[in-house]
Structure 1
């Protein structure tokens, strides 16, 4: 039986298309951080939620980064509001703050998340 050339070329095209590579485990692993979060998709590990999250979707609130107005700082509060987890581009890993009068403070007291005049502000010494 003879097949027209177009059918042969179409068949070869379908076979070649099926053989194209898809992402492999090693490719996906290369895009994950130490916690297994897919960092290229904006995921970071949240210690408060014990899972990978996209801070821009999971944040309780966010505000503009004081150093760069085009960036944001994202904050996730624990269910009991006793802890705040701060995500920012200039932080190597999220920062956990403890509830304190008027807001939250880091363990060393150098970073504060303060609610005053109807807005949140992040300060550091």
Structure 2
């Protein structure tokens, strides 16, 4: 028989529609990405419909300037991603794409900080 605390937690989760998940990942970067994903999902659930695109990307840097720094292979991947965004009108898929992009940016930033400067043209 589960303890009183366990039963209370199970009722709380059931009432709120919460599912507990435990996952093992191979690196600290992956753990950070999973935590960020979970936090963003919780935050988004708390304030549906309150989201708007940021005024600027990467601290206000224009998109064209960011694209100029991407190598050929990176532009190919960016084109695939953009084509997928353009092909959907599902808010859920767009939210998912945003989470993927944010997680990717975070992991790339962590790798960049831990490995030193990037060689020109290898950023993709």
Do they superpose with TM above 0.5? no
User: Structure 2-normalised TM-score?
Assistant: 0.25
TM-score computed with the length of structure 1 as normaliser:
0.25
> Counting strand residues as a fraction of each chain, which structure ranks higher?
1
Higher Rg: 1
Q: Which has the higher helix share?
A: 2
